Structure 1
Amino acid sequence: MSLFYEDVGDGPPVVLVHGWPLSQRFWEPQIGPLVQAGRRVVCYDRRGFGRSSRPWHGYDHDTFTADLAALVESLDLTGLALVGYSTGCAEAVSYAAASERVARLVLGSPVLYPDPLAHELRVSSGRHRIPMLDDVLLRFFAVDGHSALDEPTRQYLLRQAADASPKATADSLAAWGTADLDQDLAQVTVPTLIVQGEDDAFVRPEDSGARVARAIASGSLVTVPDAPHGASLTHHEQWNELILEFLAR
């Protein structure tokens, strides 16, 4: 099992964790600005996605978290800022709760709680995987039913999602559907910024960012006006400014 990762820039490390069903290329709008701000940026493909290995097993929360820990520790990163997006926030939270290597935590559009939607998507993934992914990526970037992302970029992301391991695509949904992170959230003590689009059509803000902010004693929530679940792409300039300001404190 090997994880594909990119390691660019110099300075205090930032580790970026993408969410289902995407790859580390999701972070394209963030990598350049972080490097220009004097940060070392490490972004990787979760197992089964992008250019990482595609084993038949291991698409559960504990293994995803162990993969993140193995990467951080193999690079001997300390004092790092850990940035998760969507379902990738799950292993970011668990690792931050357990490791002294993390100094700051950013959770973008966090998906951390069991949701019947996960089961519905998993059933669809076995029957109509590509149409299901297409529909998901419409909702990721929709505001009031209209896409806030240009169609060529959405199709680029859809190709990434479609190329992932079908087994990883389905099993990762089971990991989301059975998640229970209350204990880990309570153990996070590092400064934490939660950023969510005000018009998130994939998970309701009151069941996501607001709930997470209440669960983390050191957490603060910022909502991006008129932004969808994928705010880090559609509103990347504003999103990046929020992250860079938080990391500079």
Structure 2
Amino acid sequence: MSHRIEVEKGVSLFVEDIGEGQPVIFIHGWPVNHRMFEYQINEIVNLGYRFIGIDLRGYGQSDKPWSGYDYNRKADDVKAVIDQLGLENAVLAGFSMGGPVALRYMARHQQHGITKLMLLAPAAPRFTKTDDFPYGIEAKEIDGMIESIQKDRPAFLEEFGGMFFHQEQSDAFKHWFGTLGLQASAHGTIHSAEALRDEDGRGDLEHVTVPVLLLHGTNDEICPIDFSEYLQSHLKDAQLVKFEESGHGLVFEETEKLNAEILQFLRT
């Protein structure tokens, strides 16, 4: 089953809704969509959980307005989906950019409806370096990425996809993965990159009191594992599982281990 959920006047999100039982809400990373989780859907649904996959505004099959790509608005969009589907006792999972969006949701909406949080290779608490946050990349590197997107978005996505993985992927897989990024709007991709460059989610962490599972590849070249180590030390109840054979794309590179860790967390 799928839904179109209006999150503000004139803007609707596409939401995949499969299975029954406790809801597990997945928020994808930049610049793809919920279909990146296809290797988690079967496992979760087969074991009695309800998969909720959200295409954020600007991505996948959701509407692509010009504005609304800051973390506050994206968190409000998630709230609208949760409310309109009547989701309770849910687990919220955020991958990469979806990580800081999930954390902002927890802080901004008082963890409404959420009993557990999973962060997969999160781009959190912030993506770029500052004087008091030494992890991540320089803000000017995001500016270079935006310039590349404006010049040749397909070429940029192909290059970015190459950074995504530690293990070699088939040509067919790389083509499929690239199509996920091309389904996004150019302006949504750029405005989300600006949010990744500028947003700071460190203030969100003190508001998270539910159990948190952190899953992160040790060879991640996009979101260094320093991010999850920082989160583990600043969240009240967080466990970190490292994936030694993965880069940023741990959901594809160590799928069996990742799914097992997710299911163990769901059952506890």
Q: TM-score, normalised by structure 1?
A: 0.94
In structure 1, the residue matched to 2:39 is 29
The answer as to whether partners of 2:127 and 2:223 remain within 8 angstroms in 1 is no
In the alignment, structure 2 segments of 5+ residues that lack a partner are 1-10, 129-138
The answer as to whether partners of 1:148 and 1:234 remain within 8 angstroms in 2 is no
Given the alignment of the two structures, is residue 162 of structure 1 paired with residue 179 of structure 2, yes or no? no
In structure 2, the residue matched to 1:17 is 27
Amino acid of the structure 1 residue aligned with 2:115: A
Alpha-carbon distance between aligned partners in 2 of 1:241 and 1:111, rounded to the nearest angstrom = 23
Query: How far does residue 43 in structure 1 lie from its aligned partner after superposition?
Result: 0.4
Instruction: Give per-residue Cα distances to partners, 1:169-208, cap 9 Å, x unaligned.
Output: 10000011111111111211000000001111212212x1
The answer as to whether partners of 1:86 and 1:108 remain within 8 angstroms in 2 is yes
Amino acid of the structure 2 residue aligned with 1:79: N
Instruction: Give per-residue Cα distances to partners, 1:91-144, cap 9 Å, x unaligned.
Output: 111112322311000000000213223332122211222211111111111x2x
Q: Given the alignment, which residue of 72, 93, 96 partners 1:62?
A: 72
Query: How far does residue 61 in structure 1 lie from its aligned partner after superposition?
Result: 1.2
Report the 3-state secondary structure (helix = DSSP H, G, I; strand = E; otherwise coil) of the residue aligned with 1:193: strand
In structure 1, the residue matched to 2:159 is 135
Amino acid of the structure 2 residue aligned with 1:170: I
Alpha-carbon distance between aligned partners in 2 of 1:238 and 1:114, rounded to the nearest angstrom = 26
In structure 2, the residue matched to 1:99 is 111
Given the alignment of the two structures, is residue 72 of structure 1 paired with residue 82 of structure 2, yes or no? yes
Query: How far does residue 155 in structure 1 lie from its aligned partner after superposition?
Result: 1.1
Alpha-carbon distance between aligned partners in 2 of 1:91 and 1:156, rounded to the nearest angstrom = 25
Report the 3-state secondary structure (helix = DSSP H, G, I; strand = E; otherwise coil) of the residue aligned with 2:190: helix
Alpha-carbon distance between aligned partners in 2 of 1:23 and 1:129, rounded to the nearest angstrom = 16
In structure 2, the residue matched to 1:108 is 120
In structure 2, the residue matched to 1:232 is 251
Given the alignment of the two structures, is residue 41 of structure 1 paired with residue 44 of structure 2, yes or no? no
Query: How far does residue 235 in structure 1 lie from its aligned partner after superposition?
Result: 1.1
Given the alignment of the two structures, is residue 2 of structure 1 paired with residue 12 of structure 2, yes or no? yes
Alpha-carbon distance between aligned partners in 2 of 1:173 and 1:188, rounded to the nearest angstrom = 25
The answer as to whether partners of 1:12 and 1:80 remain within 8 angstroms in 2 is yes
In structure 1, the residue matched to 2:133 is none
Amino acid of the structure 2 residue aligned with 1:158: G
Report the 3-state secondary structure (helix = DSSP H, G, I; strand = E; otherwise coil) of the residue aligned with 2:37: helix
In structure 2, the residue matched to 1:242 is 261
Alpha-carbon distance between aligned partners in 1 of 2:79 and 2:237, rounded to the nearest angstrom = 22
In the alignment, structure 1 segments of 5+ residues that lack a partner are none
Alpha-carbon distance between aligned partners in 2 of 1:241 and 1:96, rounded to the nearest angstrom = 25
Alpha-carbon distance between aligned partners in 1 of 2:159 and 2:244, rounded to the nearest angstrom = 23
Number of residue pairs matched by the alignment: 244
Alpha-carbon distance between aligned partners in 1 of 2:19 and 2:183, rounded to the nearest angstrom = 28
Report the 3-state secondary structure (helix = DSSP H, G, I; strand = E; otherwise coil) of the residue aligned with 1:237: helix
Q: TM-score, normalised by structure 2?
A: 0.88
Root-mean-square deviation (Å): 1.2
Aligned-residue identity in percent: 30
The answer as to whether partners of 1:148 and 1:228 remain within 8 angstroms in 2 is no
The answer as to whether partners of 2:28 and 2:95 remain within 8 angstroms in 1 is yes
Alpha-carbon distance between aligned partners in 2 of 1:148 and 1:196, rounded to the nearest angstrom = 18
The answer as to whether partners of 2:121 and 2:228 remain within 8 angstroms in 1 is yes
